[in-house]
Amino acid sequence: MDNAFNRISLISKYGDPGIGDTVMELSHILQKRGCEVSLEEHTAAAIENHGLPIVTLDEIREHSDLAIVIGGDGTLLNAARNMVDNNVPILGINLGRLGFLVDISPAEMELRINEILDGSFDEEHRILLTTTVQHHSDGTNSVSDAFNDVVVHKWEVARMIETETFINGRFLNSMRSDGLIISTPTGSTAYALSSGGPILDPDMDAMIIVPICPHSMSYRPIVIDGGSEIEIYVKEGPLSHAQVTCDGQINLGVVSGDRIQIRKKDRCVRLIHPYKHNHYEILRAKLHWGGQL
């Protein structure tokens, strides 16, 4: 039987020397199935005597049928942003802690990988956000994607920022707070959840706006249509030093008067899961629902 995926690249957590055994075990499983296996260049640098072809992210985007991420959710977030424009599907092996996105444990890796190569798997398409910061001082733009969330937050630890938010050109509110989280459904179980936001089904076409420690308790999270365009302005004044962070990994500087535009990206991330993947089962396990107090 032909494999569902043949040219497979492995991507691990950057600079983590503890992933070598799992990466090599996975490569042997794939090679036994006749797959062409390659290592992303930073992954290869952390493993001695691997004997596998080394590829760049550009080469993975152009030539791979599947990217397998070995690590935690943060590693998969980075891979998702890199692979989405070339429609490369992503599968996660969980070496992290929480693991909402990387859902195969090393203990079941051989069984699940063989099932997936046999064509027994589920595929999800999940939305990303694209953020553009329009810098009014010099007319330049800073652009980044986010799979989990875009956070507009204060720079100084002890000070708030003051923002104005618009949805599709319509004024939503003016607020003093520690910041705002704009989250995808995927990111609803991340920073947005810890800040009081709701959990969304990952298949939803929606975004959440969650205030971070607002000055007034009347400000609440709001869920809006995924096709909306959000604009946020950092208002002029002493409470104006802010930054924009995408997925907790990419920082874009912001000063008062800059315009922050957030919308859904045109392409979706393709996630591969074991057959009969159950998101609610993952929620119960990770959030300890139903446990005895």
CATH number of the domain residue 256 falls in: 2.60.200.30
Q: How many domains does the chain fold into? A: 2
pLDDT at 217: 85
3-state secondary structure of 134: strand
Residue 18: partners with Cβ closer than 8 Å, 6 or more residues away: 95
Residues labelled as active-site residues: 73
What does the radius of gyration of the chain's CA atoms come to, in whole angstroms? 20
How far is Cα 91 from Cα 95, in angstroms, rounded to an integer? Answer: 13
How far is Cα 198 from Cα 195, in angstroms, rounded to an integer? Answer: 9
pLDDT digits (tens, 9 = 90+) for 199-257: 999 999 999 999 999 998 899 999 999 999 999 998 876 555 789 999 999 999 888 88
Q: What percent of the chain has pLDDT over 70?
A: 96
| Residue 120 and residue 168 share a domain | no
Specify the CATH number for the domain of residue 56.
Answer: 3.40.50.10330
Q: pTM of this prediction?
A: 0.92
pLDDT at 15: 73
Q: What are phi and psi of 267, to 5 degrees?
A: -105, 155
How far is Cα 94 from Cα 105, in angstroms, rounded to an integer? Answer: 5
Which residues constitute the domain of residue 190? 129-264
User: What's the longest Cα–Cα distance across the chain?
Assistant: 66
